[in-house]
Amino acid sequence: MPSRAELAAMAARPTPPVVRKAAMGAAVIGGVVFIAYLFIDPDRAWRAFHFNWLFFAFISSAGATLAAVQRITTARWSRSVVRIVEGYVAFLPVAFVFLVLILTAGRSHIFPWTHIAPPVAEKRLYLAPGFLIPRDLILFAVITGLALWFVYLSVRLDVGVVAESGSEWARGIRARMRAGFGDERRELHTTHSRQGVIAVFMVLTYGFFWSILSFDLSMTLDMHFQSTLYGWWTFMTAWLGSLTSFALLTMWWRKTLHAESVIEERHFHDLGKLCFAFTAFWGYLTFGQYLVMWYGNMGEETHWFRLRFIHPWQPIATTAVVLIWVLPFFGLLSRAAKVYLPTFALFATSSLIGIWLQRYTEVYPSLYGRVARAPLGVPEFGVLLLYLGTWGMCYLGFMDAFPKMRILLQTSPFRDEVQVPVDPKTMEPLPATE
């Protein structure tokens, strides 16, 4: 393990300027396409904006929650790589602004309940704009606030023990982090305990709040359809997306930071096992939802899947299943495929593309119904560039502002004490009964 000074120098290496420029360029091109289609075909522009929001916001929240899970399990294997996924939190404030736009300026172009009466009285109450819009904004604000708080505490531990460095825009934030930073051992335990509480609430709100958001923002695009498994299916899809994107970014940061001595083969083996496990789980949830609807044979449920199994949606829906489940499941069976980075990158990329297509088939068939040709072209890919570039600028801005790795938890002589909770006043280990 490198020394603290060596690790801090490694974590402070700047992002290649060409990557930041590429992200900015993608955002500008995508923004131009989106604005142009607001005049050409506003319905399609906002629908592309919406399903891309579901893809990027979901994965960003899942990434921050994945970091929280590492805290809950007091995981040691991920200490050198978890900051890579903590950076996903940087997009969530922007995603909140985008959600405000979706629920205000774009809602009449996206949601049928704005101009069609829901089929039953209960849905008329549930989908009333005065109830739905505040509900969704509050839920997403809580998700964002908890994630920001958790990651702030994590970053503060590292900023407090390294020399001043990073992007100028965050100098004031780093100064506030250092203000009042005390004894290293006490800061470590206090922060670890506080993060433990926040992490539990993050996981609970991720599962519960995203279920509600997926019902409101995705399932009710078809007001006749309902599925109690839909929330699980959508938020676990995002969980898989966070893992596969995490793996790809870990490969890139390992090369960019010259961190081969810190990010080792075992990390990719562990990430590969996680990707494989949740690929299998995604297949279980997807088939489980389909099977129950198939043998129930109730029209208000089966029509949702049937629409996606007929022209022109069937090729896209089938491709999504192949890319998310078939290729990664069989491709990542062996250890060699997980630790050989080209094959791991191939299957991780396959899964991410498939998840993007799945978000498309969540939204578009419900809104367009039976059409001669699936609307998948310039608006959808243009808005994808807008989101990809914006997400990249947020993420890289965060990573350049703060240490790109956890420093204290890798170099402190007290780092493994966090495996056993301590009394914050006496700093003595708590009895097992407590």
pLDDT in tens, 147-162: 999 999 999 999 999 9
Q: Which domain holds residue 77?
A: 4-409
- On whether residue 280 sits in a domain, the answer given is yes
| Residue positions counted in the chain | 434
84 DSSP β-pair partners = none
User: Quick one: what percent of the chain has pLDDT higher than 90?
Assistant: 83
- What pLDDT is stored for residue 419 in this prediction? 79
**Taking all residues of the chain, what is their mean pLDDT, rounded to a whole number?**
94
Q: What is the pLDDT of residues 240-262, one digit of tens each?
A: 999 999 999 999 999 999 999 99
Answer whether residue 422 is part of any domain.
no
pLDDT in tens, 63-72: 999 999 999 9
Alpha-carbon span 213 to 313, nearest angstrom: 24
**What is the pLDDT, as a whole number, of residue 432?**
60
Residue 152's contacts (CB-CB under 8 Å, 6 or more residues apart) are: 177
Model confidence over 317-326: pLDDT tens digits? 999 999 999 9
Alpha helices of 73-170 — where are they, by DSSP H?
A: 82-86, 92-103, 107-110, 121-126, 129-159
Confidence of residue 44 (pLDDT cuts 50, 70, 90): very high
Q: Which residue has better confidence, 88 or 292?
A: 88
pLDDT of the residue at 29: 98
HSE, CB side, 13 Å, CA atoms: give it for residue 96.
17
* Mean pLDDT confidence for 304-321: 95
For tokens 């129950």, name the residue.
Answer: 292
Residue 421 forms part of a structural domain: no
Q: What pLDDT is recorded for position 71?
A: 94
What is the reported pLDDT for 424?
65
- On whether residue 293 sits in a domain, the answer given is yes
What tens digit of pLDDT does each residue of 406-428 get? 999 999 888 888 877 777 677 77
Residue closest to 56 by CA, chosen among 79, 29, 17, 30? 30
Categorize the per-residue pLDDT at 330 as very low, low, confident or very high, splitting at 50, 70 and 90: very high
Q: Is the residue at 431 inside a domain?
A: no
pLDDT 10s digits, 348-383: 999 999 999 999 999 999 999 999 999 999 999 999
Assigned domain for 425 exists: no
Q: What is the pTM of this model?
A: 0.95
- How many domains, the chain? 1
In a domain, 415, yes or no: no
241 within domain boundaries: yes
Higher confidence at residue 155 or residue 1? 155
Q: Which position has the token pair 């402070």? A: 12
